[in-house]
């Protein structure tokens, strides 16, 4: 039986760079299931927070503890950036690349690539060069490339920030399907409507600190802090 990597325990995590505190200290428990939305104004620390959980930021203090050894935890998670990074290869090769790194046989990798391309609406673009895709198509490819490894948890940094309504709807459907299939999702967004559609719980950040962490229904019905209330009302939050 495979040991779950979650819950994730974050204890007094602090990130400093050149003497400036970017995050923390923060404490958080990430449960085994759910869709966490990370919110906050620009500069609140959302990206640093996600990168810290994923292991891309070096902690100045504190701990980020998985239920399995760190080397195993890294293999069972994925990260999708706001601006997707495309290999200068075809859509098919972008999808097979992470699989071949894991030792997947070529025929199996191609089969999975074709399946995932169809699932995200890129079935007709398998031989197209990835850098030539539209913004929405690139984001769908980046998401498929992350999900093709069947991660236990995926982190997303505002993946729909520059997309039109149709592309956003398609991305949200893919994410909800992944969540329903058991993938734990933690995603930052500025879009309040999107947060309401997707979130099971909300982490609200200000100046690198978690000032609210609650179930989505409670957060949107009655935020506990004036900063969160102001953000939900469309006011400027500093």
pLDDT value at residue 77: 96
Residue 167, pLDDT score: 86
pLDDT of residue 25: 97
Burial class from Cβ neighbours inside 10 Å (0-12, 13-18, 19+) for residue 63 reads exposed
pLDDT tens-place string over residues 99-115: 999 999 999 999 999 99
Domain boundaries, the chain: 8-86+151-232, 88-132
For the chain, what is the mean pLDDT?
A: 95
Tokens read off for 189 = 């967004």
Angstrom distance (rounded) from CA 19 to CA 88: 37
Q: Which CATH superfamily is domain 8-86+151-232 in?
A: P-loop containing nucleotide triphosphate hydrolases (3.40.50.300)
pLDDT confidence of residue 164: 87
Which is nearest to 194 in space by CA: 225, 230, 212, 167? 167
Q: Are strands 61-65 and 35-39 parallel, antiparallel or unpaired?
A: unpaired
Q: Rounded to an integer, what distance in angstroms lies between the CA atom of residue 147 and that of residue 78?
A: 8
Structure confidence by residue, pLDDT tens digits, 115-153: 999 999 999 999 999 999 998 999 999 999 999 999 999
Give yes or no for residue 12 having a pLDDT over 90: yes
pTM of the model: 0.94
pLDDT of 117: 96
């Amino acid at each position: 039986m495979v040991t779950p990597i979650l819950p994730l325990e974050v204890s007094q995590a602090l990130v400093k760079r050149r003497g400036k505190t970017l995050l923390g200290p923060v404490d958080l428990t990430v449960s085994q299931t759910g869709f966490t939305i990370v919110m906050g104004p620009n500069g609140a620390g959302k990206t640093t927070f996600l990168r810290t959980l994923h292991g891309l930021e070096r902690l100045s203090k504190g701990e980020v503890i998985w239920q399995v050894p760190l080397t195993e935890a890294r293999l069972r998670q994925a990260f999708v950036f706001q601006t997707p990074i495309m290999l200068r290869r075809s859509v098919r090769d972008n999808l097979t690349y992470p699989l071949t790194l894991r030792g997947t046989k070529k025929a199996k990798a191609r089969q999975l690539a074709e399946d995932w391309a169809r699932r995200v609406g890129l079935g007709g673009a398998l031989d197209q060069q990835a850098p030539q895709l539209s913004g929405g198509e690139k984001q769908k490819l980046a998401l498929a490339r992350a999900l093709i490894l069947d991660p236990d948890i995926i982190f997303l940094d505002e993946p729909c920030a520059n997309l039109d309504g149709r592309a956003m709807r398609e991305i949200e459907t893919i994410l909800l399907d992944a969540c329903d299939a058991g993938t734990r999702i933690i995603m930052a967004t500025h879009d309040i409507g999107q947060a309401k559609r997707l979130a099971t719980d909300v982490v609200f950040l200000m100046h690198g600190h978690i000032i609210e962490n609650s179930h989505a229904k409670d957060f949107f019905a009655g935020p506990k802090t004036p900063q969160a209330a102001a953000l939900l009302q469309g006011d400027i939050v500093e």
